[in-house]
Structure formats: C-alpha cells, structure tokens
C-alpha cells in the first residue's frame, strides 16, 4: 500500500472518527486504484489525470456497477483532496472526471392486497391507538399526502360533510384532495375518541401538541406486524408511493397525480411511469392479434 494512502486512512480514523466499515471500503477502493496505477508506473499519490481516467474506464470494462464506480471515484476525490490540503500535490487529477450516472431507483410500494391487510389490521386494533392508526392510514392511502402534512392537519380540516380536504404542503402551498368514504368515517371516529380541546386532528400525549413522527412510525410498525407484513417495507412514504402507483395502474394520468401529490413539476411524478409501461405491455399481450406469439422481453 502507498504510504500516502496509509496516511489518508489514518487521518480518516483519527481525525474524522470514520467507522470501521468506512475505513474498510476506502482501503479496498484505494488499494485497487494503487494496483492499477502501479501497473502504469505511478504511485497512487503521483498518478496523473490520464491514469485516473483510465482507471475509471477500467471499472466499466470489468463490469462493475455504476454505483461501485461512483463510490470509488468518491474515494479517489477524497484522497486527492487530502493530498492537496497536505501540500503533497498542487493539482487534482480527478477534477475533470465525470461521476457515473446512477440509475434512478424505482419507488417502493405495497401491493393492493397488502394495503388492504394493513387497513384491516388497523381497524382491528382496539381503543384510541386503533382509531388513530385507522384514520392515519385511510387518509394517507386515500390522498397520498406526506406524513408531515398528515400530522400537521388541524382538527377543523375535516368538516361535517367534507367531500374534500385542504392540505398545506411544502412552501405553505395549499391543495385540495378528495376524501374517500372510509377515510371520512375513520377520521370522524378519531375525532369522537379525542379530547375536543386539542387543536390537532392527530394529537399527541399532550393534546396541545400534535403527534410526533417517531410516535406515528412506531404505531405504523406495530400495525404492519399485526398485518403480517415486514415492518421494514412499511412507511408513510411507501404508502404515498402505493397511492400513486395504484392510481396510475387504474388509469389516472400524470398531470392529475401531480396535483394530488402536490408536486410543482410533473417530472417528479414520472418515476411512476414504470406502472404505465407495465399496464401497456399487458394491454398489448391481452389484445394484440398475435398475442399468443408474444415473447416477454423480461
């Protein structure tokens, strides 16, 4: 190992208190780079821009993923920043390197049957915790609102005959979302089980304060266990993704979905187009004249 690499790793350990796994990752990445540079007559600390560029190209040629290549580039940049700050180098040979383009992860969502199981488990939960869980889940899934929007709803958000609810989103922007019958009934039941002096639809232990995110997350995990779902797969944001994915699967358009979710830019909701792609593929399979000869490209 290059002595400068050793010094860099020591700095990460002593000065930054980096975790053992972080040090192990940097060691692996920089050892790999040092071996590549040595094959071209350079020490890791002396490699020129062409060597760094060639190394990054070699990662692609070796079949490493874009995520791994991005991590190794990050290690190289941190290493050369250390060399600059320590006066070992006066230039940064990684400054012109492009970060590998990472694929956008598809949104994680539950199947409709899994959402049904979650709602049923909340409905079976007794007492005020059950009323709170059922109202929260019905509203989250019926509207696609963010958890911050849900927990900040005032008690007055739900009128006696409300068909829609006004949600205050990011930047104080308001939007109207329709309410399902189940969501209205669950919210009304929660109001009946809550002290009238609380100004919040979802009050915490102190009625003057709204329910905290931590308390709601814990309740949601309990309901997921009772629904026999992996709690790690269930979160308010997963329910928001489920709302959007299921709406698209049933024919909603992106512009309407953008308005319901409260996004300023329609490009933000285009992550859900994988649902439309799957629906169109099935449409062709079911109705194309040559559907029996259709070959699934997957």
User: Tokens 């992550």 — which residue?
Assistant: 271
Q: What is the tens place of the pLDDT at every residue in 108-125? A: 889 999 999 999 999 999
- What domains can you pick out in the chain, each with its CATH number? 3-85 (1.10.150.130), 112-282 (1.10.443.10)
Angle subtended at Cα 263 by Cα 258 and Cα 268, rounded to the nearest 5 degrees: 80
Q: pTM (2 decimals)? A: 0.60
* Whole-number Å distance between alpha carbons of 158 and 189: 11
Q: What is the mean pLDDT of the chain?
A: 87
- Reading the block at residue 124, the tokens are 């079976």
Comparing 47-51, 144-148, 208-212, 279-283, the range with the smallest average pLDDT is 279-283
Position with higher pLDDT, 236 vs 168:
236
Residue 170 known to be catalytic: yes
Residue 240 known to be catalytic: yes
**Can you tell me the mean pLDDT for 86-96?**
93
Q: What's the pLDDT at 275?
A: 63
Please check whether residue 140 is in contact with residue 150, taking contact to mean a CB–CB distance below 8 angstroms. yes
Q: Which of 16, 237, 279, 288 is catalytic?
A: 237
Q: What's the pLDDT at 264?
A: 75
Query: What is the 8-class DSSP label of residue 210?
Result: B
For helices 112-124 and 236-249, what crossing angle results, to 10°? 130
* Whole-number Å distance between alpha carbons of 76 and 78: 6
**Can you tell me the mean pLDDT for 30-35?**
95
Q: What percent of the chain has pLDDT over 70?
A: 91
Task: Give yes or no for residue 84 having a pLDDT over 60.
Answer: yes
Task: Give yes or no for residue 293 having a pLDDT over 60.
Answer: no
Q: Which of 4, 72, 184, 240 is catalytic?
A: 240
Q: What is the tens place of the pLDDT at every residue in 245-266? A: 898 888 888 888 888 888 877 7
Task: Give yes or no for residue 296 having a pLDDT over 70.
Answer: no
157-194 CB burial, b ≥16 within 10 A, e <16: bbeeeeeebebbbeeeeebebebeebbbebbebbeeeb
Residue 237 known to be catalytic: yes
**Can you tell me the mean pLDDT for 44-63?**
94
Q: What is the tens place of the pLDDT at every residue in 164-203? A: 888 888 778 888 888 899 999 999 899 888 877 889 999 9
Q: Which of 170, 250, 255, 288 is catalytic?
A: 170
**Can you tell me the mean pLDDT for 38-45?**
94
Q: Which of 89, 221, 263, 281 is catalytic?
A: 263
38 Cβ contact list (under 8 Å, min separation 6)? 44
Q: What's the pLDDT at 104?
A: 66
Please check whether residue 33 is in contact with residue 74, taking contact to mean a CB–CB distance below 8 angstroms. no
Task: Give yes or no for residue 159 having a pLDDT over 90.
Answer: no
Q: Which of 146, 184, 241, 246 is catalytic?
A: 146
* Whole-number Å distance between alpha carbons of 199 and 75: 50
Alpha helices in the chain (DSSP H): 3-14, 20-38, 49-61, 66-85, 112-124, 127-143, 147-151, 181-192, 213-226, 236-249, 254-261, 273-287
**Can you tell me the mean pLDDT for 42-63?**
94
Comparing 31-45, 74-88, 89-103, the range with the smallest average pLDDT is 89-103
**Can you tell me the mean pLDDT for 262-288?**
72
104-135 CB burial, b ≥16 within 10 A, e <16: eeebebbeeebbebbbebbbebeeeebbbbbb
Q: How confident is the model at residue 276 (pLDDT cuts 50, 70, 90)?
A: low
For helices 49-61 and 66-85, what crossing angle results, to 10°? 160
Q: What's the pLDDT at 2?
A: 79
Among 152, 114, 156, which Cα is nearest to 136's?
152
Q: Looking at the DSSP assignment, which residues form a beta bridge with residue 174?
A: 168
């Amino acid at each position: 190992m290059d002595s400068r690499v050793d010094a860099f790793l020591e700095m990460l350990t002593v000065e930054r208190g980096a975790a053992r796994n972080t040090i192990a990752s940097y060691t692996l990445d920089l050892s790999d780079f040092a071996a590549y540079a040595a094959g071209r007559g350079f020490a890791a600390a002396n490699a020129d821009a062409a060597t760094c560029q060639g190394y990054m190209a070699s990662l692609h040629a070796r079949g490493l993923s874009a995520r791994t290549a991005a991590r190794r580039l990050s290690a190289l940049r941190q290493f050369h920043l250390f060399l600059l700050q320590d006066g070992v180098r006066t230039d940064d040979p990684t400054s012109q390197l492009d970060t590998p383009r990472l694929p956008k992860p598809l949104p994680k969502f539950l199947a409709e049957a899994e959402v049904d199981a979650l709602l049923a488990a909340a409905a079976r939960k007794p007492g005020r915790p059950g009323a709170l869980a059922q109202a929260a889940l019905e509203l989250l899934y019926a509207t696609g609102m963010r958890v911050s929007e849900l927990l900040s709803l005032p008690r007055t958000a739900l009128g006696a005959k409300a068909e829609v609810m006004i949600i205050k989103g990011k930047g104080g922007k308001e939007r109207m979302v329709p309410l399902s019958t189940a969501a209205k009934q669950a919210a009304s039941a929660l109001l009946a089980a809550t002290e009238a002096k609380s100004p919040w639809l979802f009050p915490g232990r102190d009625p003057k304060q709204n329910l905290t995110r931590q308390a709601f997350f814990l309740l949601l995990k309990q309901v997921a266990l009772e629904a026999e779902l992996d709690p790690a797969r269930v979160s308010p944001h997963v329910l928001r993704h489920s709302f959007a994915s299921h709406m698209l699967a049933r024919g909603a358009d992106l512009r309407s979905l953008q308005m319901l979710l409260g996004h300023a830019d329609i490009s933000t909701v285009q992550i859900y187009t994988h649902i439309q792609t799957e629906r169109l593929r099935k449409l062709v399979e079911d109705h194309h004249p040559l559907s029996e000869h259709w070959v699934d490209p997957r």
